[in-house]
């Protein structure tokens, strides 16, 4: 078996790794955006909820949360599939981090622009969609890439709940061929490729939303 | 601007769609949890599950007309799936222990796990009497259960001292040293030994038996376990041994 064969066998698991990452990041983005919008509401109950959410999901380790969701919830009579449980766990955690990234980016939007928008008769929904969101999105791209990489590296936990991703293929291959070093090197290469592809995707977004002349090329 | 919003909506709906895809499984299908890193009991080769445990379970399902669906987990996940009743049965060379019995039910033992002292075929070391053991060096990775065994069983009998054992980080180093002739005997468990036997010229010099049994693991109070035990009784020990031996030879 050549190194190339090993790469091909491991690549079978890459589909699941990418699927789990994309789904978790999407869930995290939705959650993070929701929380960031919530944070603009200045009610005590809301800010208490946000603080609690932040503390809980940034402190609980991903594996612990996954165990609670997948093995704990059935005890309460709630049954969910392995895929939902990993996406839910990683989505909730990355949602907490992304919310902070979005909140910071939102705070960086010039207040004068919002006043100007109000003065020209835009309602708050329009202000969010056309003034705040585009700028916020632009400013949060670097943070989003960071968060994406953490989620990508959490995906091996998916195997714990029975999703056959890269590490599963690697472990069952290693035990049969006893060539651990080469196999785990191949795993590293595959993760690098996935990371590279996603960063390229994010970079095209960044380029698209960059203001010509404002950011360095 | 609309594009970004549309993009976000798309992402969101894709994730929702993917989330919604969790199909409902039929009740008649037995959900099996395995950890396919335990050859020859349960492993994966060329994308196909194989092994002793699977053969036994397959013959059970065939006899009863059951359907089953295998999901592979890592070791913790496999045991967790049985405890949390996500799976109806788990098998992958699971040793029956008192600790595990507290949280799951085991079938009757279907095979015994041995602890083997192996040596290079070329050296032709055969230990007939444990008293001869002192002449040889023994090695295995740190943190294995063999240490307790040597300390509690062999040391009081004056057979071997734990301080004489060579400890290594992993089996890779143990076997490399064995190959180089720096080590006489390596401690392996029987199923691991059968894998290494295919890759290198090693033989059993001494085999310890009688303390480690494998069983199929079921959730607490599982009705399937009773049926499975009945099946093991039906086929009898000879037929069971024939299945096991097919893989060990």
> Mind listing the pLDDT tens digit for each residue in B169-209?
777 778 888 988 899 999 988 877 887 888 888 999 999 88
Q: Cβ separation of B4 and A133 shorter than 8 Å? A: yes
The pair phi, psi for residue B64, each rounded to 5°, is -100, -5
Please, which residues bridge with residue B112 across strands? B213
**What confidence tier does B8 reach under pLDDT thresholds 50, 70, 90?**
low
**Bridge-based pairing state of the strands B138-141 and B185-189:** parallel
What whole-number distance in Å separates Cα of residue B215 and Cα of residue B218? 9
Q: What is the helix (H) or strand (E) element at residue B82, kind and residue range?
A: helix B75-83
What whole-number distance in Å separates Cα of residue B71 and Cα of residue A178? 23
Looking at the fold, whether B133 and B205 belong to one and the same domain comes out as yes
What whole-number distance in Å separates Cα of residue A195 and Cα of residue A189? 10
What whole-number distance in Å separates Cα of residue B12 and Cα of residue B25? 26
Residue B87 lies in a domain: yes
- pLDDT of the residue at B25: 45
Looking at the fold, whether B75 and B118 belong to one and the same domain comes out as no
Instruction: List the single residue in A19, A84, A176 with the smallest CB-CB distance to B43.
Output: A176
Q: Cβ separation of B18 and A87 shorter than 8 Å? A: yes
Which chain B residues touch A161 with a CB distance below 8 Å? 73, 77, 81
pLDDT tens profile B160-180: 999 999 998 777 778 888 988
Do the beta carbons of residue B175 and residue B186 sit within 8 Å? yes
Looking at the fold, whether B191 and B118 belong to one and the same domain comes out as yes
Domains of chain A: 14-164 (1.10.3720.10)
Looking at the fold, whether B77 and B119 belong to one and the same domain comes out as no
pLDDT tens profile A80-112: 888 999 999 999 999 999 999 999 998 899 999
For A159, other C-beta atoms within 10 Å of its C-beta total 26
Do the beta carbons of residue B114 and residue B63 sit within 8 Å? no
Q: Cβ separation of A23 and B18 shorter than 8 Å? A: yes
**What confidence tier does B74 reach under pLDDT thresholds 50, 70, 90?**
confident
Assessment of whether the complete model's pTM goes beyond 0.80 = no
What whole-number distance in Å separates Cα of residue B25 and Cα of residue B226? 23
Looking at the fold, whether B128 and B103 belong to one and the same domain comes out as no
Q: By a Cβ cutoff of 8 Å, what residues of chain B touch chain A?
A: 1, 4-5, 8, 11-12, 14-15, 18-19, 21-22, 33, 36-39, 43-45, 47, 71-74, 76-77, 80-81, 83-86, 172, 195-196, 199
A75 in contact with B at a CB cutoff of 8 Å? yes
Which chain A residues touch B22 with a CB distance below 8 Å? 80-81, 83-84
Do the beta carbons of residue A94 and residue A28 sit within 8 Å? yes
pLDDT tens profile A57-82: 999 999 999 989 988 887 788 888 88
Here the tokens at position A83 are 């895929």
Q: Which residue of A has its CA nearest to B49?
A: A172
CATH code of B141's domain: 3.40.190.10
Residue B17 lies in a domain: no
Interface probe with B: pick from A26, A135, A159, A204, most Cβ of B within 10 Å = A26
Looking at the fold, whether B84 and B120 belong to one and the same domain comes out as no
Domain that holds residue B227: 26-110+215-248
Distance of CA B132 to the CA centre of its chain: 31
For residue A36, pLDDT over 50 is answered with yes
Burial track A56-90 (b if 16+ CB lie within 10 A, e otherwise): ebeebebeebbbebbbbebeeeeebbbbbbbbbbb
- List, as ranges, residues 170-199 from A with C-beta within 8 Å of B: 171-172, 174-176, 178, 180
Of A33-42, B112-121, B166-175, where does mean pLDDT reach its minimum? Answer: B166-175
**Bridge-based pairing state of the strands B42-45 and B48-50:** antiparallel
Looking at the fold, whether B101 and B119 belong to one and the same domain comes out as no
As for how many domains chain B has, the answer is 2
Looking at the fold, whether B84 and B200 belong to one and the same domain comes out as no
Q: Cβ separation of A84 and B19 shorter than 8 Å? A: yes
Residue B200 lies in a domain: yes
Q: Cβ separation of B1 and A129 shorter than 8 Å? A: yes
- pLDDT of the residue at B24: 46
The pair phi, psi for residue B49, each rounded to 5°, is -75, 140
Q: What angle do CA A26, A7, A183 make, to 5 degrees?
A: 100
Instruction: List the single residue in A81, A175, A209 with the smallest CB-CB distance to B22.
Output: A81
Residue B183 lies in a domain: yes
Average pLDDT over chain B, rounded to an integer: 85
A84 in contact with B at a CB cutoff of 8 Å? yes
What whole-number distance in Å separates Cα of residue A99 and Cα of residue B111? 54
- pLDDT of the residue at A32: 94
Bond preceding residue B40 cis, omega within 30 of 0:
yes
Extended strands (E) in B5-127: 29-34, 37-38, 42-45, 48-50, 67-72, 89-90, 104-106, 111-120
Instruction: List the single residue in B19, B33, B37 with the smallest CB-CB distance to A175.
Output: B37
- List, as ranges, residues 87-146 from A with C-beta within 8 Å of B: 87, 129-130, 133-134, 137
B52: three-class secondary structure by DSSP = helix
Q: Cβ separation of A80 and B1 shorter than 8 Å? A: no
Interface probe with B: pick from A176, A181, A183, A205, most Cβ of B within 10 Å = A176
Residue B61 lies in a domain: yes
Average pLDDT over chain A, rounded to an integer: 89
Looking at the fold, whether B131 and B54 belong to one and the same domain comes out as no
ipTM: 0.71
User: Residue holding tokens 């499975």?
Assistant: B228
CA-atom Rg of chain A in angstroms: 21
Å between B36 CA and nearest CA of chain A: 6
Which chain A residues touch B197 with a CB distance below 8 Å? none
pLDDT tens profile A152-173: 999 999 988 888 889 888 888 8
What whole-number distance in Å separates Cα of residue A149 and Cα of residue B96? 40
| Cβ within 8 Å of residue B117, ≥6 positions away | B127, B138, B185, B186, B187, B204, B205, B206, B207, B208
What whole-number distance in Å separates Cα of residue B159 and Cα of residue B44? 39
Here the tokens at position A60 are 């609980």
**What confidence tier does A214 reach under pLDDT thresholds 50, 70, 90?**
low
Which chain A residues touch B81 with a CB distance below 8 Å? 71, 161-162
**What confidence tier does B23 reach under pLDDT thresholds 50, 70, 90?**
very low
A28, A33, A36, A41: CA torsion to nearest 10? -130
Residue B173 lies in a domain: yes
Q: Cβ separation of A75 and B199 shorter than 8 Å? A: no
Looking at the fold, whether B139 and B173 belong to one and the same domain comes out as yes
- pLDDT of the residue at B4: 55
Residue B6 lies in a domain: no
Looking at the fold, whether B132 and B106 belong to one and the same domain comes out as no
Å between A24 CA and nearest CA of chain B: 8
Residue B1 lies in a domain: no
């Amino acid at each position: 078996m050549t190194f190339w064969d090993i790469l091909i066998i491991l690549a079978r698991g890459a589909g699941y790794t990418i699927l789990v990452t994309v789904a978790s990041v999407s869930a995290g983005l939705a959650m993070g955006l929701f929380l960031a919008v919530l944070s603009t509401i200045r009610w005590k109950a809301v800010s208490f909820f946000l603080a609690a959410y932040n503390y809980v999901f940034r402190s609980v380790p991903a594996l612990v949360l996954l165990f609670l969701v997948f093995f704990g919830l059935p005890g309460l009579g709630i049954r969910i599939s392995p895929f939902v449980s990993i996406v839910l766990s990683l989505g909730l955690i990355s949602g907490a981090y992304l919310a902070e990234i979005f909140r910071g980016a939102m705070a960086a939007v010039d207040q004068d622009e919002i006043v100007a928008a109000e003065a020209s008769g835009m309602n708050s929904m329009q202000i969010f969609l056309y003034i705040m969101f585009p700028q916020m999105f632009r400013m949060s791209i670097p943070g989003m890439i960071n968060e994406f990489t953490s989620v990508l590296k959490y995906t091996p936990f998916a195997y714990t709940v029975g999703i056959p991703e890269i590490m599963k293929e690697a472990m069952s291959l290693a035990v049969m061929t006893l060539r651990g070093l080469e196999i785990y090197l191949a795993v590293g290469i595959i993760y690098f490729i996935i990371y590279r592809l996603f960063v390229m995707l994010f970079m095209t977004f960044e380029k698209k939303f960059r203001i010509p002349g404002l950011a360095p090329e | 601007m609309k594009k970004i919003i549309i993009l976000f909506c798309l992402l969101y709906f894709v994730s929702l769609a993917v989330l919604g895809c969790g199909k409902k499984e039929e009740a008649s299908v037995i959900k099996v949890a395995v950890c396919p890193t335990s050859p020859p009991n349960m492993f994966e080769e060329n994308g196909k599950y194989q092994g002793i445990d699977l053969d036994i379970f397959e013959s059970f399902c065939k006899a009863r007309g059951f359907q089953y669906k295998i999901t592979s987990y890592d070791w913790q996940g496999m045991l967790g799936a049985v405890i949390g009743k996500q799976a109806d049965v788990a098998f992958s060379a699971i040793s029956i222990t008192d600790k595990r019995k507290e949280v799951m039910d085991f079938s009757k033992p279907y095979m015994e796990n041995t602890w083997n002292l192996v040596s290079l075929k070329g050296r032709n070391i055969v230990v007939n009497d444990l008293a001869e053991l002192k002449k040889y060096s023994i090695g295995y990775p740190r943190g294995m259960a063999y240490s307790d065994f040597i300390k509690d069983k062999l040391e009081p009998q004056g057979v071997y001292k734990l301080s004489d054992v060579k400890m290594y980080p992993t089996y890779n180093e143990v076997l490399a040293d064995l190959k180089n002739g720096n080590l006489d005997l390596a401690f392996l468990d029987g199923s691991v030994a059968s894998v290494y036997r295919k890759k290198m010229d090693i033989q059993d010099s001494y085999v310890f038996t009688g303390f480690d049994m494998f069983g199929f693991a079921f959730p607490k109070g599982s009705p399937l376990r009773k049926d499975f035990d009945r099946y093991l009784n039906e086929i009898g020990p000879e037929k069971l041994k024939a299945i096991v031996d097919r893989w060990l030879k």
